[in-house]
Structure 1
Amino acid sequence: MSHQASKKLKLNITNYSVKGGNLKFYVKTRWSTAWDCTSSILRLKNQLKNLLNECPEILNNKIKGLLRTRSFFNDINTVNTLLGPVKSAVKALEFKSTTLANCFIELIKLSQRINFLPPISDQNFKSTCIELFNKRWKQFDFDLYVLSYMLHPYYQGKI
């Protein structure tokens, strides 16, 4: 986004008293920033649309094309839904008190989110997510994770 567009967006955010600040940017080395980025796009949906309608000349063609796509914000919402458990899992791993059960629980949450994905513009998105998840899932010692999950104090007999 150009400096002009960024400045105009900040002004729009201030004028409409939008909480949470400006757009957050994705940093490759920080997993949680992907969720922060998609979340900020959803939070600023109206401001981004206003920017597109009021001064399209300050946006580059790629951004204009994305914002004009009918499914853009739905797709961002879907990705954001998947990134929530990933962010939680990464944050959980940063604590000294994290157990294998905590990690396993976050993986289960992620698999549930993938299974309940709504249809989006890219028909292969859900199947690609399932493939990637299954590939990573097979890398774990499943029996050890099930045991740690069952021994977890919050286990309620449901798996």
Structure 2
Amino acid sequence: MQKMREMFISKPGNQHILELRCFAHAINLIAETLHTIVKTRWSSVAKCLTLFILLRAPLEVLVAIDKSRAPAKVINIINNRLFFHDIENLHKIMPPLAYAMTIIQSSSITLADCYLILSYLCLTTDKFVVNTETQTFNKFVGKVVDIRLKEFQNDLYLSAYYLHPKYRSAGMLTVGRSAVYRYLAEYSKKIGNNLATTKNVISALQRYEIKSGPYALHFTQGK
């Protein structure tokens, strides 16, 4: 499939086409790899894990009073501290993934939004890896997220964030702007523009960034 995409895009008439991977599928693969406790829609896993945590104390009291109320297998699980410890660790990472999926599946999603979600997941995962007590699990989560999101950490999404009229490179460092200019200049050359046209594009981007001239319009969120 990858070779077919590359062959299609390499044709002279398709140079303007950009190759994109499915961001939502990547997040699904992260959740799938974590081997969640319950078998349900993974976007609902966070809620299920929350219920496990909330019901832990009542269940422990229940089986302590009368063990006949539940099968021995269930009682062993309820009394297993490691089981709930694993749930608590998993619960710390699943809500951010569920939130990200909710945004990604929106009908109004843009590549700029994908960039923001990508940044959010990277920061959240880094924080999780640092704070989680279980070293083996946190390293595993960090590795899984890094592998799945690596292909999206490119200048295309950064450029989309830069070009979005709502953001206009807000908070972007000089190195980020340079990466955007370089990426868009390469794309301009790729689609057949000459050097003079490419320079005009970069000049227009700089005016766009500072809202100069025709780029001084304010962004209005559509319904």
TM-score interval, smaller chain:
0.5 to 0.7
The code of the aligned residue for 2:68 comes to E
Q: Does structure 1 residue 136 correspond to structure 2 residue 148?
A: yes
Q: Which residue of 2 aligns with 1:78?
A: 89
Q: CA deviation at 1:105?
A: 2.3
Alignment of 1:106-117 (within 5 A): 106-117=117-128
- Aligned counterparts of 1:57 and 1:41: Cα–Cα separation in 2: 21
Which stretch of structure 1 is more off in the superposition, 58-67 or 88-97? 58-67
- Aligned counterparts of 1:66 and 1:124: Cα–Cα separation in 2: 22
SS at match of 2:109: coil
8 Å Cα contact 1:88-1:106 kept in structure 2: no
Structure 1, unpaired ranges of 5+: 1-24
Q: Which has the higher Rg, Structure 1 or Structure 2?
A: 2
Aligned-CA RMSD value: 2.6
8 Å Cα contact 1:71-1:120 kept in structure 2: no
- Aligned counterparts of 2:57 and 2:71: Cα–Cα separation in 1: 18
After TM superposition, the score normalised by the length of structure 1 is 0.66
Q: CA deviation at 1:137?
A: 1.4
Structure 2, unpaired ranges of 5+: 1-37, 174-223
- Aligned counterparts of 2:151 and 2:120: Cα–Cα separation in 1: 18
Q: Which residue of 2 aligns with 1:94?
A: 105
Q: For the structure 1 residues 83 and 150, does the alpha-carbon distance in structure 2 shift closer, same or farther, using more than 3 Å as the test?
A: farther
- Aligned counterparts of 1:114 and 1:106: Cα–Cα separation in 2: 12
**How big is each residue's C-alpha offset from its partner over 1:73-127, in whole Å with a ceiling of 9 and x where there is no partner?**
3432221221112111211122211112323322322222322223344x31111
More helix by share: 2
- Aligned counterparts of 1:103 and 1:69: Cα–Cα separation in 2: 39
SS at match of 2:81: coil
**How big is each residue's C-alpha offset from its partner over 1:58-79, in whole Å with a ceiling of 9 and x where there is no partner?**
3344433333233443432221
Q: Does structure 1 residue 119 correspond to structure 2 residue 132?
A: yes
Q: For the structure 1 residues 56 and 136, does the alpha-carbon distance in structure 2 shift closer, same or farther, using more than 3 Å as the test?
A: same
Q: CA deviation at 1:141?
A: 5.5
Alignment of 1:36-75 (within 5 A): 36-75=47-86
Q: Does structure 1 residue 32 correspond to structure 2 residue 49?
A: no
Q: For the structure 1 residues 52 and 144, does the alpha-carbon distance in structure 2 shift closer, same or farther, using more than 3 Å as the test?
A: farther
Which stretch of structure 1 is more off in the superposition, 148-157 or 40-49? 148-157
Identity rate, percent = 27
Q: Does structure 1 residue 157 correspond to structure 2 residue 171?
A: yes
SS at match of 2:152: coil
